[in-house]
Every structure is written in C-alpha cells, then in structure tokens.
A and B are shown apart, each in its own frame.
Chain A
Amino acid sequence: MSEKKGLFGVWLAVLGIGIVVGLITTVKLFSQGHSLFNANDVLLWTLPLGAYIFLALASSGLTLLSAVPLVFGVKKYEPFAKRLVFLAIATLCGAFVSIGLELGSIFHMIYIMLSPNISSPIWWMGAIYSVELVVLIVKFFLMHKGDWHSGFSKFLALASFILALAAPLMIGSVFGITESRVTYFGPVMSIYCLLMAFLSGTALFIVYSLVVNRVTGNGVPVELYDEFALIFTYAAGVVTVFTLLKYAIESATVVPEFLVYRQFEHAFGTVGVFHSEVLLGLFLPLVLLLIPSVRKTVAGKILTSALVLAGTLLMHMEILLAGQSHPVGPKAEQFAPFISYFPSIWEILVFVFALTIMLLIYTLGERYLKLTEAPQ
C-alpha cells in the first residue's frame, strides 16, 4: 500500500513538472510569438496542430465508444461508460491546450463568437468541439450523481454522439476542402478522420484501462476487454482498407501535386510504397490482433493499442506535413522546393503540456470520481 502511495506521489511530481514546464512554454510563446516554432510561411501547421488533431480525434473516438452503452443501450458495457466519458473530456482538454498554444492571438478568440463565419470548417470545428465539451461535462456530472437514464441524460448522450460524429468530419473538411492542396484528398479526408477517431479512441481506452487495472489492481475484470479488443480489430481493419485505397490512388494518379509529393522522402521513412508509421502503427497491430492468442492477452492488447496510438499520431503528422511540404505560387521564390521539418523544443513542450493536462485530469478523475461505477 505504501509502495503504491509512493508511486502515486512520484507520478504527481512528474505531472507537476510537466505543468510548470507547460506554463513556462505558454509565457514564452505569448511573449515571443511563433518564431519559436520550426514553422514558416510554407509549413504553417506543425506538431502542436498535429497533436491537436490526434487528441481531438481520440476524444471523439472515446465519445463514440461511450455511445455503445449510453445511446444504443448495450448494458454489459455500462461499467465502461463513465470512464469513457471522462477520458473523452480529459483528452479534449489536452487538445484545447495544444490548439490554444498553436494560435497566435488567443485573446482574439472572442471574435469566434462575436463574428462567426458559418462557411468556415474551422469555425464549425471549434464550435462543435466546444459544445461537445460542455455536453460531455454535464453528462458526466449527471452520471456521477446517479442519473443515467433520465430523458435529459439520454438526450445528452445522443447529443454528444452526434457531435462526436460531426467533429471529425469537420476536422477532415478543414484539410479536404482546400483548393490549393490536392494531396489532402478532398472530401474523403473527412471519412478518414472519422475512422481514425474511432480507431485511436478505442486504442486509447484499452491501453489506459489495462494500465490502470495493472497499477491499481482494481476496476473491471480484464476479460471484459476482449470484446473491446474485437471492436478494436474491426476498426483497425476498416482503417487498413481505407489506407490501402489511399495508397492506390496516391501511387496511380498523375495529378501534378501528387507527382511532386511522390518525389520526396516521407517524414518517417518508407518500406517500398508503404510509410513506416503505417506498417508499424497499423498493419503490424492488425496482424497481431488477428491472432486470437495475442488479442486475448493483456500484454497483446496493451502492445497493439500502444502501437496504434503512436501510429495514428505519426500518420496525422505525415499527412499534415506532406500537404504543406512544398511552397505554393510565388513562395517558391523565397523557399526551397521542399521544406524539411523537425519540431523545435517549444513545439515538443506544447505537446508535453497538452499530454500532462490530459494525464493530470485522468489521474484526478481515477482517484476521486469512481470511474468504473455503473447504474444499479
């Protein structure tokens, strides 16, 4: 017991250091501006934006997963519901930290409300995620008070499900509707983001729950995660099919932007036509998950989920960077034909801060909010 207390203290100290470092980063960014990032007028959006996409989509995935018991009424999943909603809230808070620090003039955010542009996918993305956060918090509060099945509680579950469906579609359209960047795959990008949201949300839930079970020694019996592992396998399968389709289009098209895109090395290297992060972060875990003896073990679940989580982050980064890797129009006069990128220390610290906020909320929730309780 005292050993566990000691470990908890160390964990809190680590998180405390993360918070202090994050606050220093925030002050530094707001005073010196975004010249601290390894970004420029070609490569506009870098790691903080990639981290936002990753966390926001994972949050949507968690919310979608929570709909299984809360919207579709599958009672045996009810012991997972409260934790799923809470994880969605915490992950979304991490995403907001990342996007908040990515933006140059955060105090101007008020104009998002005062002067909304409803033709802008960024506006819709911000609005949907903001409303979703509020809905999830209210829903969690009701669940915590024991109100799982009242009309209002069910309405909130349905609302959060619809919002979690819409938000990834909107993130996809932020990229997909840009006329200047064909390599983002147009409207298909929205469907891709939705699938990736479900995949990363499921992976995050499995890895988190099993690690917490292992560390605290309590919670839902690990056997109950077998069905989640099956859902996870299906999600990885669907994303794999979609990714193969994407590869087929990418390698067959002769659209000039794709020809340029194909000329250069990809961010994390390739094996043949396949990107390393896809091989190691999607195809490999799928193969492992298809082996029942691996899928049914705790170690197998943790390994595959961790691989998929890392893979989805890198896949988002690869897509984000590849679409901005060469200058548009006259910017080719100032910049090299291809922009290489490695995150600056400040960009890494923004990601660390976002993860710390997320993990701190997880930790406090796990400690004080009885996340595995279900209605009687």
Chain B
Amino acid sequence: MPRYAMVIDLQRCVGCGACSIACRNENNVPEGIYWSNKITETVGTFPNVRYHYIPTLCNHCEYAPCVRGCPTKAMHKLDNGITMHNPNKCIGCKYCEFNCPYGVIYFNWETPHKFWRDKKAEIQGGTASPQEVVKDVGAKSVPYYNPEREATYAGIRPKGVVEKCTFCDHRVKKGMLPRCVEACPADARVFGDISDPKSDVSVLLGKFRSFRLREQIGTNPHVFYIRDFNPAAYQPTKGGV
C-alpha cells in the first residue's frame, strides 16, 4: 500500500495561487473555505525586507490530532495515509478544527454556495439571476460544479459539518495527480508514494533538506517543503563590523 506525501519546492513556487483556484473548482469548495491556502509574512525593516510565501493544505499527518479527537471517526485515516472525512458521520462538534495545529479545517456555518441560490438578478431584466445561471448550464448548486468529486466524498458538503483537503483522493484513486499538483504552472508540487524509495518525492527528500510545519509537536506531517526562493546578494566582508 502506498503512503502518499507531497513535496512543495519553495524555489519554484511563484505564489500565483493557481493551486487554490484549481482546488476550489475540483472540489466545489464554498466561499470562505480554503482547502488549499497560504501563509504569507513580511520580515525585516524597510528597505531591507523579505516576503515569504508558504502554500498550505491538509498535512495528512501520520498522528493526526483531528483523527484522534473526532468522536465518531468521521475524520479517519485511509490505508494510503490520506486523512479522510465522512460528512455523514460528522456531528459538527468542530473538535477536529479546534485540534488541527495547521488551521486547514473549516466548518460550513451556513448553506454552502448560498450566492448561487439567489433568485434576484443584479440588473432586473438585464442579467440572469445566479439561480438562473445554475439552471441554464444544467449544474448542481454551482455553475462550475464538478460531479467527479462525488466519487469518494459529498460533491458539496452540507451545512453543519467540517471539510478539508483530501489530497484529491478521487483522482489519486484513478491514477491521476491531485488537481493542485496538475495545475501548478511552475511544477512546484510533487506528489507520490513516500514509502517507495524510487518515487519522485523520496528522491527530492533525499536530495534536499526539507522542513515541515510545526514538526516539533510530533504529528508527522506528510507535506514537505524544500528550498527557498531568494534573489538577494550581498558583498562579502570580514564579519561586517
């Protein structure tokens, strides 16, 4: 059985956000919820400043606090290491979200994609209402609805349950890459079986020193970061005194 992991090359990542947009389309992610997200920070004092950009997603931890804490096993581990969620079993206690050290689980506070249920047109007699648009394209709930998501998970998760990244398990099952990996224009994301020493992820982790988010808390995350982008240069000195 493979053990899936992702390597994100921060030297290649340009921070374009294509991963997040692709993820939203693939997984019918509602407004306000981010399966694929980022951590940005600006450090230093002007004019000597730097901007850091770290793409984030569910870390599919080996010792996942969300899985340990879920009272109904709605959040569970698959044999391939993916941390999966079953909305039918989810009681909406939000403990997984409370417990997640990485802030990657979200709760559906209200009916998802509410905007597209609106019957009112922006310009009366001029534009179609959001609901008419959905009806005209023959979609379910949202005009860009992806029915393939339904293969392993609710196409749209209902109000009152949590949701998060599943490493696109429905695509992985068919031998495809997660959508964020496929959509990355800079090939900054590499996905594969970390238990196979010949896989691309294993090769990269052997070649480059990696880090993971909040490693010290012992969750053993399976999203690794390598390298960093830094175009800066400085004059060599003898200590700079």
Contact = CB atoms under 8 A, between A and B. Distances in A.
B40 A108 contact: no
A316 B98 CA distance: 17
A44 interface: yes
Interface stretch (B106-114, B115-123, B125-133, B233-241): B106-114
A333 B39 CA distance: 7
Contacts of A179: 65, 99, 101, 214, 217-219
Q: Is the interface of A mostly helix, strand, loop or mixed?
A: loop
A262 interface: no
A227 interface: no
A218 interface: no
Nearest to A120: B71
Contact of B94 (A45, A114, A117): A45
Contact of B37 (A103, A177, A333): A333
Interface stretch (B85-93, B172-180, B186-194, B195-203): B85-93
A119 B92 contact: no
Interface stretch (A4-12, A290-298, A323-331): A323-331
A105 interface: yes
A40 interface: yes
Contact of A331 (B69, B103, B160, B214): B103
B153 to A, nearest CB: 16
A242 to B, nearest CB: 24
B89 A115 contact: yes
Contacts of B94: 44-45, 104
A376 interface: no
- The number of chain A residues touching the other chain, given as a range, is 35 or more
A328 B94 CA distance: 14
Contacts of A331: 103
Contacts of B74: 111, 115
Nearest to B114: A35
Contacts of B93: 103, 122
Nearest to A331: B103
Contacts of B69: 119-122, 177-178
B37 A330 contact: yes
A116 interface: yes
A70 interface: no
B229 interface: no
- Between B158, B159, B219, the greatest number of chain A beta carbons within 10 A of the residue's beta carbon is seen for B159
Given A33-B111, A104-B91, A329-B56, A45 B160 contact: no
Q: Which 5 A-B pairs have the closest CB atoms?
A: A104-B92, A104-B160, A329-B103, A328-B103, A180-B101
Interface of A: 32-35, 37, 39-41, 44-45, 103-106, 108-109, 111-112, 114-117, 119-123, 126, 174, 177-181, 324, 327-334
7 contacts: A34-B110, A105-B92, A105-B158, A108-B89, A119-B69, A174-B95, A328-B102
